[in-house]
Amino acid sequence: MATIIRSASEGTSNSVQMTQEDLPSEEENCFLARVWSSFIKAMNFLIVSIGNLCCCRSAAPKPILPEPEPLTPQSVPKSSDFSASGPLVMQTPLESENAELMKEINGISSRILLPQPVEDLSVIQDISRLTAQQTVDILVQPEKAPSPSHLQEIRYLNVMGYSQKTNVNQIFASVFLGNYDALRSVDASKGNNPNKFTRVISVTTQDPNTTDEFVRVSIPEHIARMVMKVHDEEAAWIELETHFERLFQFIDDARIAKENILIHCTQGQSRSATVLLAYIMNRFHVSLQDALTFVKTRRFLVEPIPALLARLSQYEKSLKHPL
CA distance 251 to 171: 13
CA distance 198 to 177: 14
Q: How many CA atoms lie within 13 A of 23 on its CB side?
A: 11
Of the residues 30, 54, 55, 265, only one is catalytic, namely: 265
Residues 227 and 210 sit within 8 Å (Cβ to Cβ): no
CA distance 299 to 283: 20
Residue 77 carries which DSSP code? P
Residue 143 carries which DSSP code? G
SS (H, E, C) 258-301: CCEEEEECCCCCCHHHHHHHHHHHHHHCCCHHHHHHHHHHHCCC
Q: Any residues with CB less than 8 A from the CB of 190 and at least 6 apart, and which? A: 184, 217
Q: Are strands 168-172 and 12-18 parallel, antiparallel or unpaired?
A: unpaired
Q: Is residue 265 annotated as a catalytic residue, yes or no? A: yes
State the DSSP H helix or E strand holding residue 226, giving kind and residue range, or none if neither.
Answer: strand 224-229
Residues 165 and 259 sit within 8 Å (Cβ to Cβ): no
Distance of CA 177 to the CA centre of its chain: 23
* Amino acid at site 307: A
Summary count for the chain: helices (H), strands (E): 12, 7
Other beta carbons within 10 Å of 251: 21
User: Active-site residues: which are they?
Assistant: 265
